[in-house]
A and B are shown apart, each in its own frame.
Chain A
Amino acid sequence: MNPSINHRLDSMIRAMTEIILPALGSSNGLATEQAGLLLGHLNVLKLQLEYASRYQQAELYDAMGLARALISEASGGAETKAAIARLSATLEEPRGNYTVRADDKLESINEAIENIIHAMKSDGEPVSRTLTHRLILNHGKATAERDRVWFSAMGFEAAESGLPSFSDMLASLPEIVAVA
């Protein structure tokens, strides 16, 4: 039986903490800093590992939700229409192996959404443009908050940031069996 990824991360963390960092001492500032960063990265990876696939699926699920809303609300001239058609096609494209292609699918959708934003600048209908901007910002707020919690162990967030806890964020992720 292969050792689990978790066990391997644990053994690396222990080696960094108990052997490598003490051996470096303070004589080599850059090496000590880098070793500290590696230790930090390993700890964050360990925290995220179990949930990474589910997290990725949730990102995709939400992007698809935004895409559907934009297809329904966006309107305008020829450029906007072409961008909407491209997003619809991207959404309907078969995904093949789900786990392998979740990231690729997310990127295709986000790219097509960006294309709509640029097209609507050119010939989007004004009221529809304001509405689509709201949809994009609402989606952005939710994803940015989730990403901040996902990486909160990296220490950028102030204690009073008001963000949900890591476990609350995980609990709020949609239970996805399969995404079309």
Chain B
Amino acid sequence: MNVSVKLGPATKLGNDIEPGIAAVLDRRMAERAKPPYKPKTDGEIATILASYFAKAPSSRLMNVKRMGGGASKEQFVFELEGGDLAGRYVLRMDPRGTAVETDRRREFEALKAFEGIVPAPSVCWLDHDGSELGQPAAIMKFVGGVTKPQSIQTTKVSGLGTVLGPQLRELLGPQFVDHLVAIHKLDCRADNLPSYQIPNADPYQAARWQVNWWSRVWNEDKVASVPVAALTQTWLEENLPAASELVFVHGDYRTGNYLFDEASGKITAILDWELAHVGDYHEDLAWVLQRIFGTSEDDKFFVNGLFERQEFLDRYEQASGRRVDRKTLHFYEVLTAFKCLALCLGTSVKVASNSHNHQDALLTWLAAAGHMFHAELCTLLEKDIAA
């Protein structure tokens, strides 16, 4: 069951932001004053995990190893041998500062809520404040699969412009839409999502919370002023769409954030739920449509390497029974490009300059992608001004 909201006048923007997100952003600012972060070695993590699993003495900790990639979270794979807990696991933990500051508890709740609904890592333990594992962290079962075809060589950063090719496109495309529709079907007022608040004070609150969230991130993190970013902020504030229906939004739904089995083409896990929140379904659609996640093949542009733009929207409408409102979609496309600009040209540089991440060199590399979002914002806003 999804939540319906009554239509009403837009309220003043002010500081209206989801309380759970405001708390994350407050904590982030408190962390800023701390000294540089020293990433832990595999051995140090093994010691921490051994202490954590002392409560399960029948299991033996083995093969602790850092996983590559990811400037957002640090990930280590490990095994437990013997006892009820036997299996392969992933420790996912916050560095001191990250490209995207989020809450491990919210992510944990989302993963639990979607067990049996869409393929996702099965989450087992949570240390939301880092009191036991040193940094806020969650531990989940390891899931096999790849984020891109191993046969296709690319020099691009993982998840950006992943070429899937026609065969995988055919296999993955329908699942990609079906899982998104399933995510949007979840009852976002369910008791098992206590960390999520519902933006139902008025129909504009869903959009307002997002604008205020990402405006705050940009205002706190920008290392250089960008006039188009300021123009975007005012445009977003003046063009909030009313949400007719509130759904559970994944927040980072794209190729690169799901694992699949290359032989069968079956999606084995939807990943990276850290930006999930309750909001307008157009937000996930706009994220999928971001050009940086797409590919050009045979003179055609494929969003997420899977569909041509209109085909994706048609399929979503068909599978969900919802209507895609073009004006609302445009608003969320602008918001999405602004969000990406804030993360690349703002947070990534700020965090790296504080030496608060395990991948500072990757963060300063990613910063350059911000100029693509700057260009995208100009294109999107230009259409609006011309209209």
Q: Which residues of A contact B (CB under 8 A)?
A: 29-30, 32-34, 37-38, 40-41, 66, 106-107, 110-111, 113-114, 117-118, 121, 130, 133-134, 136-137, 139-141, 143-145, 147-148, 150-151, 154-160
Q: Is the CB of B68 within 8 A of A137?
A: no
Q: Is the CB of A155 within 8 A of B156?
A: yes
| With known contacts A33-B69, A114-B230, A160-B296, A140–B225 Cβ distance under 8 A | no
Q: Which residues of B contact A (CB under 8 A)?
A: 66-69, 155-157, 160-161, 224-231, 233-234, 237-238, 292, 295-296, 358-359, 361-362, 364-365, 368-369, 371-372, 374-375, 377-379, 381-382, 385
Chain B residues, CB < 8 A from A144: 228, 371-372, 374-375, 378
Q: Is the CB of B375 within 8 A of A148?
A: yes
Q: Is the CB of A121 within 8 A of B234?
A: yes
Q: Is the CB of A30 within 8 A of B224?
A: no
Chain A residues, CB < 8 A from B157: 155-156
Q: Is the CB of B224 within 8 A of A117?
A: no
| With known contacts A37-B365, A133-B385, A148–B371 Cβ distance under 8 A | yes
18 interchain pairs (CB within 8 A)? A30-B359, A37-B365, A38-B361, A41-B361, A41-B364, A110-B225, A114-B226, A117-B234, A133-B231, A140-B228, A140-B375, A144-B375, A144-B378, A155-B156, A155-B157, A156-B157, A156-B292, A158-B295
Contact residues of B: prevailing secondary structure: helix
Q: Is the CB of A41 within 8 A of B365?
A: yes
Q: Is the CB of B382 within 8 A of A137?
A: yes
Q: Is the CB of A155 within 8 A of B155?
A: yes
**When chains A and B are docked, how far (Å) is the Cα of A1 from the Cα of B382?**
53
Least Cβ–Cβ distance between B32 and chain A, in angstroms: 20
Chain B residues, CB < 8 A from A130: 385
Q: Is the CB of A156 within 8 A of B368?
A: yes
Q: Is the CB of A34 within 8 A of B225?
A: no
| With known contacts A40-B365, A117-B231, A118-B230, A29–B378 Cβ distance under 8 A | no
Least Cβ–Cβ distance between A140 and chain B, in angstroms: 4
Q: Is the CB of B227 within 8 A of A117?
A: yes
Max chain A C-beta neighbours (<10 A), residue from B156, B157, B227, B358 = B227
Least Cβ–Cβ distance between B226 and chain A, in angstroms: 7
**When chains A and B are docked, how far (Å) is the Cα of A155 from the Cα of B228?**
24
Q: Is the CB of A107 within 8 A of B225?
A: yes
Q: Which residue from A30, A32, A106, A137 sits with its C-beta under 8 Å from B378?
A: A137
Least Cβ–Cβ distance between B343 and chain A, in angstroms: 14
Chain A residues, CB < 8 A from B292: 156
| A37-B362, A133-B381, A156-B372 given; 19 more Cβ-contact pairs under 8 Å | A33-B68, A33-B362, A38-B361, A40-B365, A41-B364, A110-B224, A117-B227, A136-B228, A140-B228, A140-B231, A141-B378, A141-B382, A144-B371, A145-B375, A147-B374, A148-B372, A156-B160, A156-B368, A158-B296
Least Cβ–Cβ distance between B351 and chain A, in angstroms: 15
Contact residues of A: prevailing secondary structure: helix
Q: Is the CB of B375 within 8 A of A137?
A: no
Least Cβ–Cβ distance between B218 and chain A, in angstroms: 11
| With known contacts A110-B224, A154-B368, A140–B161 Cβ distance under 8 A | no
Q: In this complex, what residue of A is CB-closest to B294?
A: A158
Q: In this complex, what residue of A is CB-closest to B39?
A: A30
| With known contacts A121-B234, A156-B160, A140–B374 Cβ distance under 8 A | yes
**When chains A and B are docked, how far (Å) is the Cα of A64 from the Cα of B66?**
48
**When chains A and B are docked, how far (Å) is the Cα of A23 from the Cα of B79?**
27
Chain A residues, CB < 8 A from B224: 106-107, 110
Q: Is the CB of B365 within 8 A of A154?
A: yes
| With known contacts A37-B361, A114-B230, A137–B385 Cβ distance under 8 A | yes
| With known contacts A134-B385, A154-B365, A147–B225 Cβ distance under 8 A | no
Chain B residues, CB < 8 A from A140: 226-228, 231, 374-375, 377-378
Q: Is the CB of B67 within 8 A of A29?
A: yes
Least Cβ–Cβ distance between A120 and chain B, in angstroms: 8
Q: Is the CB of A147 within 8 A of B378?
A: no
Least Cβ–Cβ distance between B341 and chain A, in angstroms: 10
Least Cβ–Cβ distance between B44 and chain A, in angstroms: 14
Q: Which residue from A118, A145, A147, A156 sits with its C-beta under 8 Å from B234?
A: A118
Chain B residues, CB < 8 A from A158: 161, 295-296
**When chains A and B are docked, how far (Å) is the Cα of A113 from the Cα of B224?**
12
Least Cβ–Cβ distance between A113 and chain B, in angstroms: 5
Chain B residues, CB < 8 A from A147: 368, 371, 374
Least Cβ–Cβ distance between A102 and chain B, in angstroms: 13
Q: Which residue from B227, B361, B365 sits with its C-beta under 8 Å from A110?
A: B227
Q: In this complex, what residue of A is CB-closest to B224?
A: A107
Least Cβ–Cβ distance between A118 and chain B, in angstroms: 6
Q: Which residue from A29, A121, A137, A160 sits with its C-beta under 8 Å from B228?
A: A137
**When chains A and B are docked, how far (Å) is the Cα of A133 from the Cα of B234?**
11
**When chains A and B are docked, how far (Å) is the Cα of A118 from the Cα of B231?**
8
Q: Which residue from B67, B359, B361, B381 sits with its C-beta under 8 Å from A137?
A: B381
**When chains A and B are docked, how far (Å) is the Cα of A30 from the Cα of B69?**
7
Least Cβ–Cβ distance between B75 and chain A, in angstroms: 10
Least Cβ–Cβ distance between B264 and chain A, in angstroms: 26
Q: In this complex, what residue of B is CB-closest to A112?
A: B225
Least Cβ–Cβ distance between B149 and chain A, in angstroms: 18
